[in-house]
Amino acid sequence: MTSPLSGVRVVEVGAFMAAPFATMQLADLGATVIKVENPSGGDQVRAIGPFTAGHSSPFARLNRNKRSIALDLKSERGVAAFRRLVQGADVLVENLRPGAMRALGLGFDDLNRLNPGLVYVSASGWGQDGPLANLPGLDIMAQARGGLMSVTGMPDGDPVKVGVPIADLVCGLYGALGAVSALHARELTGQGQHVDVSLLESAVSFAIWEAGKYFATGEVGGPLGSAHQSTAPYQAIRTSDGWCTVGAVTPKTWRGLCAALGLSDLLGDERYADAHDRHSLRHELIPAIERVTGTRTTAEVVAALEAEGVPCAPISDYAQVFNDEHLNQRRFFWDAEHPEMGAVRQLGSAMSFSATPTRRGPAGPLLGADTVAVLRECGHTEQEIDRLLAEGAAAQSPTPLE
């Protein structure tokens, strides 16, 4: 069976997170992704550990299912080879500083003239225009300026970012969504287009509850720890040996929580009649619940709540997540082969298709592993390839990844 994007050819000029994460999604969906890297070191993530057999463990996961071609885009011949590569591409994804590709003669307008059907996705910190466009922008800056750090952490605590690079990752997801949407539009118009996604706007796009409150009342939200913005109980609850989370916000689940924990007095208290009132009195409600849960283990509390149909879950660390029986039964984790690292355990795609499964191919490629093969596919002669390699405009790995 083919994958959803089989036959789509993608060129990536990316580093670190946003563009590589976007193209990882496209590669998982079956697209042929050709990662263009500088011959001198390649993507900076290659230098980030931990390392296995001398190779970056994060890189091998973030760049699975991709091919690598090493081209020097600061050389005339390297740029010419890149333009030839893009002539046969459907999508280009890049996350260089705005204007950097244009300075190389590889901006959207340049490549659109060469390939009018090309979908050109640019990911950046702040977007391709506006007063911030030329500033460097990393995930933590987008989380800060985008408001996420103002609502993350405990009240009166120090600023805290989300534990994963959420702005980077979601910018990558928007980039992938933008690419497939533009490909669909191309089916109707025959024309490619420029898709502009930013870490900042990705971060701000999460503010559904905060926007609802501010635009309705002018109220500005703040950090609430694990608690919900407007309903309760919906947060982490302390147990005798740790924590669990609970979401008893409907009449049925509120009754279920009270039944599971023997809190009939709370159920009969009119002050807690609805979720909004319970939120207002959260400073009293949560300690009352924890007086019971604090005498029971997390497993006991979760079992009692599950028996009553109350949404709940233990708080797992990643050792527990990566060995989770539910995820294992759903075959979420899988092993990708690497010529020197061996089997590289992978996180699965979050998308499951009944007829066109996502691809589970090799781990992230060696730098320049596919340089010669890709140049041949683009129509370069053996003499042209030899010259590119000899001049340093291109480079190849000594042990290509099949």
Which tokens in the block code for residue 363?
A: 């781990």
Active site residue 168: yes
Which tokens in the block code for residue 173?
A: 């997801």
Among 28, 43, 139, 168, the one annotated catalytic: 168
Closest CA to 179 of 34, 350, 11: 11
Phi, psi of 172 (to 5 degrees): -60, -40
Which tokens in the block code for residue 235?
A: 């947060």
Contact 293, 238 (CB under 8 A): yes
Tell me what percent of the chain is helix, strand and coil, each rounded to the nearest 5: 40, 15, 45
Query: CA separation (Å) from 4 to 7, 31, 113, 186, 288?
Result: 9, 8, 28, 17, 51
Kindly report the CA angle at 55 between 53 and 59, in degrees rounded to 5? 145
Closest CA to 278 of 259, 255, 303, 295: 255
Active centre residues (catalytic): 168
